[in-house]
Amino acid sequence: MTTATIEPPTSAEPRRITPTERPEFAIDVTGVSKVFGSRRRPVRALRGIDLHVPRGSIFGLLGPNGAGKSTLVKILMTVIKPTQCRGTMLGKPIGHKGALARIGYLPEHHRFPDYLTAEQVLDHFGALALVPRSDRRKRIPELLELVGIRAWAGAKVKGFSKGMRQRLGLANALVNDPDLILLDEPTDGVDPVGRRDIRNVLFELRSRGKTVFLNSHLLSELEMVCDTVAILVQGAVSSQGTLDELTRYSRRYEIEVEPVAGGEGGATNAGTQPSALLHRALKPLLAGNVEAGAKDGVSESSLALKASDGSQVPVLLRENALHVATDDAGAIQVLIDALRSAGVVIRSVRPVRATLEDLFMRAVTDPTTGETLKPGASLEDRP
Amino acid sequence: MMQFGAVLLDSLRLLRSRYLFRLTLILSSLAAVALFATYSFNEQGIRILWFNTWENPELQAGKPGVRDFIAIMFNNVYARFWLTWGAMILAIVSTASILPDFLSSGSIELSLARPISRTRMLAFRVIGALLFVFLQTFVGVLLAYLIIGLKFNIWLGGILWAIPLITLMFFCLFSYSALLAVITRSTLACVIGTLLIWFVLFLLQFSSSQLNNQVEQARAMQRQSQAIVARIERITADQSRPPTPGEERSLSRAKEHIARTQIDIDRFGPYASVFRRSEFILPKTRDMQTILANRAKVPTGGSIISLFAAGRGGPLNNPEFDSDDLREQLAAADEAEAALRDINVPRSLGTSIASALFIYGLAALIFSRRDF
């Protein structure tokens, strides 16, 4: 295994580049940092980012405004010089011209020369990407067809709508038949039909073994297409992994039961209190004390049940539902049996997992204060 | 090569879309037609359109003055006023947005993400901008060359030097536009900044030229007066006699001239030298005009006045003027101008190109280190 390192040049030490290879990753960078501004008042836009994008996947980078998403993409595409960056893209050091020829890029708010036609735009940028003329001639009509603007091939870009420009931008990112495609807010300004079309293009690219790096703040879009995501907050990666990995600890089962009357006290719990009946039903499975409390005016109890392997499974009893913090279907069966034995009517049992929005909101919330973190880069000089 | 071709093709498409480019091209052509196709020469002199012939023995068909007249019209009117001023200003204004547009947010990312070095990309774009001036100078000068050749059967090959020289002049001026573009990314800053720098360069070169002209003219007149003194002294010495009263007057006038011109030389000489040295590190746009005048074999100022003064009503045919005195002054002016036109071409062009390349280098350095 090798490692490519790009350090900022200093007067004493030239920039060091050590090539390496981790073929399983299309993008494999560590310690990416960028400091803007003066030495007196530095703005740390990126604070040592490690990013590993598996080949042949769709990777989503999300984060609030000013988190550093576009800065990171621009560093990868050599538009911005990093303060520090180690790693490779397509197995080559960042900025390697051979690698850039195999990468497609759709910048955010891109602006094509408005005196060119759609065809000329693709021809021009294709030539800059060293695509042979014969390939360009063949590929350009296909790409325009793919993004749905073939009919406007000869029209000047200045007459294009935002959505058409975005489609053209996508075609431009694909003109060199890249192995890696970086798309910065690709669905910005695109209507729902266009979004679906772009999604289909992304799936098609993945099926052909291409790697897609998506930079977006549209969580629902990302959730639909991404295999892997990273959440960037204030210039640092707060979490990274496949959607499965990231939601593993938030996965639970939710068992909804018919409202039942209370036991000894004669009080009902219809929507207001956890039923004593439920407590009684779960008693044989209890592994610890019951903690009762209330949230948002609704009573709830936290229980810990014994799992078959001896571990404890936290259960939250709230209104008429039990939230069981496990993704083990076997553990649920025991619980269902106990409930049914106690005469509780089960209305539904469904697996639940956190959405990307839940993950995102958790990432941008300060765990100590519970407040949303301020958007933007960090002004503090912290590592 | 593929990338260079792509940028060049893009530049041509950009120029084609520019209203100012088309306008300049039309004006260049019209100016060539107006200056070289609207008059003819006959046995009496020159005739403009359908107006009466202006009698001038120097401008009669077949006389060498005809060639001189056309060379003057090309260099002193077409090249000096239109190509190096009018068209150049239009070129600066029209091309000022090329680099700021290319460097603007949303546009620059598209190019930087391609496998091409920043320096090379900037160089290609600059070459694209040079096309503006090259093409319009090429069309205008070639048209002028063909009209002159076909209409008067005079093939002034020297005027074709205007194409590389004026393109080089723009190359020098555009370096400032490129530097301002990579620093500010503002079209307005490029236009105003370049015109301002050009104006300063012009002032510097104009002052230098005036001072040097003054000094050279003083030296020429001094040499003439010294020759008069030497001639009279030699005659009187040969004949072993005192000067006649007429010779005394000439001697005294010549000595007075020598003293007066020496004052001018002492006064302006040091300043002229300082200006000449300061010019060394700057692009010498004025020199390029002079080189063109030499290549086109344009007669010196005194000869130009002689050419027109010889015509009907001119001072050389007017008894009210002392024609001998006038011819003497014009000869001194010619001698001074000939000294000023004696330019070391490789040194002048070489230092101009080096100066421009230094500015382009600075622009490339900033561009290659800059974040976008």
**What pLDDT score was predicted for residue B220?**
83
Mutation choice for A interface testing from B20, B110, B112 by most A CBs within 10 A: B110
Q: Mean pLDDT throughout B316-336?
A: 70
Residue A306 CA: distances (Å) to CA of A233, A287, A288, A316, A324: 37, 5, 9, 14, 12
pLDDT tops 90 at residue B336: no
Q: CA-to-CA distance for B17 and A64, rounded, in angstroms?
A: 40
**Which value, in Å, is the radius of gyration of the alpha carbons in chain A?**
27
Domain membership flag for residue B251: no
Domain membership flag for residue B6: yes
Q: Mean pLDDT throughout A353-373?
A: 78
Interchain proximity B372–A80, CB inside 8 Å: yes
Mutation choice for B interface testing from A78, A92, A184 by most B CBs within 10 A: A78
| Per-residue pLDDT tens digits for A81-92 | 999 999 999 999
Residue B214: both structure tokens together:
């003054």
Domain residue limits at B348: 2-223+270-369
Mean pLDDT score of chain A, rounded to an integer? 82
On chain B, the residues whose CB falls within 8 A of the CB of A113 are: 10, 13-14, 101, 107
Domain membership flag for residue B132: yes
Greater confidence, A290 or B59?
A: B59
**Which value, in Å, is the radius of gyration of the alpha carbons in chain B?**
26
On chain B, the residues whose CB falls within 8 A of the CB of A172 are: 110
CA distance A115 to chain B (A): 6
How does residue A382 score in pLDDT terms, banded at 50, 70 and 90? very low
Phi-psi region of A188 (alpha: psi -120 to 50; beta: other; left: phi over 0): beta
Of B3, B104, B105, the CB nearest to A128: B3
Pick the residue from chain B with its C-alpha nearest to A76.
B113
Interchain proximity A81–B116, CB inside 8 Å: no
| Per-residue pLDDT tens digits for B42-63 | 888 888 888 888 888 888 888 8
Other CB atoms within a 10 A radius of the CB of residue B82 amount to 20
Greater confidence, B197 or B309?
A: B197
Phi-psi region of A258 (alpha: psi -120 to 50; beta: other; left: phi over 0): beta
How does residue A294 score in pLDDT terms, banded at 50, 70 and 90? low
Spatial CB neighbours of B239, under 8 Å, sequence gap ≥ 6: none
Q: CA-to-CA distance for A87 and A17, rounded, in angstroms?
A: 9
HSE of B59, CA atoms in CB hemisphere, 13 A? 25
Residue A102: both structure tokens together:
């195999």
Q: CA-to-CA distance for B73 and A80, rounded, in angstroms?
A: 53
Interchain proximity A79–B108, CB inside 8 Å: yes
Interchain proximity B112–A172, CB inside 8 Å: no
Residue A262: both structure tokens together:
């209370």
Interchain proximity B112–A77, CB inside 8 Å: yes
Question: DSSP secondary-structure letter at B76?
Answer: I
- The B-side interface with A (CB below 8 A) comprises 2-3, 5-7, 9-10, 13-14, 16-17, 101, 104-117, 369, 371-372
Domain membership flag for residue B257: no
Domain membership flag for residue B95: yes
On chain B, the residues whose CB falls within 8 A of the CB of A128 are: 3, 6-7, 111, 114-116
Question: DSSP secondary-structure letter at A170?
Answer: H
Domain membership flag for residue B243: no
| Per-residue pLDDT tens digits for A233-287 | 888 888 888 887 887 777 788 898 887 654 443 344 444 445 677 777 777 777 6
- Range with the lowest mean pLDDT among A18-22, A46-50, B35-39, B329-333? A18-22
Interchain proximity A109–B115, CB inside 8 Å: no
First-to-last C-alpha distance (Å) of chain A: 27
Of B5, B17, B101, the CB nearest to A127: B5
A–B: how many Cβ contacts below 8 A?
87
**What pLDDT score was predicted for residue B195?**
95
CB interface of A with B, residues 164-193, below 8 Å? 172
Q: CA-to-CA distance for A302 and A292, rounded, in angstroms?
A: 6
Interchain proximity A110–B112, CB inside 8 Å: no
Q: How are beta strands A58-62 and A211-215 bridged, if at all?
A: parallel
Q: Mean pLDDT throughout B326-344?
A: 77
How does residue A104 score in pLDDT terms, banded at 50, 70 and 90? very high
A295 touches chain B (CB under 8 A): no
Asked if residue A216 lies in contact with residue A225, where contact means CB atoms within 8 angstroms, the answer is no
Domain membership flag for residue B155: yes
Report yes or no for ipTM above 0.90. Answer: no
**What pLDDT score was predicted for residue B65?**
85
First-to-last C-alpha distance (Å) of chain B: 26
How does residue A189 score in pLDDT terms, banded at 50, 70 and 90? confident
**What pLDDT score was predicted for residue A266?**
39
Q: Mean pLDDT throughout A50-74?
A: 90
Mean pLDDT score of chain B, rounded to an integer? 88
Residue A11 CA: distances (Å) to CA of A8, A15, A143, A263, B367: 10, 10, 46, 80, 19
Mutation choice for A interface testing from B3, B8, B10 by most A CBs within 10 A: B10
Positive or negative, the Cα torsion across B206, B207, B212, B213?
Answer: positive
Of B6, B105, B117, the CB nearest to A127: B6
Paired with A365 in beta bridges are A372
Determine what percent of chain A is predicted with pLDDT higher than 90: 38
Of A101, A124, A133, the CB nearest to B10: A124
Q: CA-to-CA distance for A283 and A293, rounded, in angstroms?
A: 18
Paired with A103 in beta bridges are A180
Pick the residue from chain B with its C-alpha nearest to A98.
B115
Of B6, B13, B106, the CB nearest to A107: B106
Interchain proximity B369–A109, CB inside 8 Å: no
**What pLDDT score was predicted for residue A5?**
38
Pick the residue from chain A with its C-alpha nearest to B9.
A124
Other CB atoms within a 10 A radius of the CB of residue A371 amount to 9
Interchain proximity A105–B104, CB inside 8 Å: no
Interchain proximity A98–B115, CB inside 8 Å: yes
How does residue A3 score in pLDDT terms, banded at 50, 70 and 90? very low
**Identity at A332, one-letter amino acid code:** I
**What pLDDT score was predicted for residue A7?**
39
Of B13, B104, B105, the CB nearest to A120: B13
CA distance A348 to chain B (A): 52
Buried/exposed B239-268: b ≥16 CB within 10 Å, e otherwise: eeeeeeeebeebbeebeebbeebeebbeeb
Q: How are beta strands A321-324 and A346-352 bridged, if at all?
A: unpaired
Number of domains present in the structure of chain B: 1
Longest dimension (CA), chain A: 85
On chain B, the residues whose CB falls within 8 A of the CB of A110 are: 106-107, 109-110
Residue B191 CA: distances (Å) to CA of A19, B163, B174, B359: 45, 23, 10, 16
Q: CA-to-CA distance for A253 and A305, rounded, in angstroms?
A: 14
On chain A, the residues whose CB falls within 8 A of the CB of B2 are: 127, 130, 132-133
Other CB atoms within a 10 A radius of the CB of residue B150 amount to 12
Q: CA-to-CA distance for A185 and B109, rounded, in angstroms?
A: 14
Q: CA-to-CA distance for A217 and A121, rounded, in angstroms?
A: 28
CA distance A112 to chain B (A): 6
Asked if residue A335 lies in contact with residue A322, where contact means CB atoms within 8 angstroms, the answer is yes
Q: Mean pLDDT throughout A184-188?
A: 88
| Per-residue pLDDT tens digits for B281-324 | 888 888 888 898 888 888 877 677 777 776 666 666 666 666 66
Name the phi and psi angles at A253, rounded to 5: -110, 145
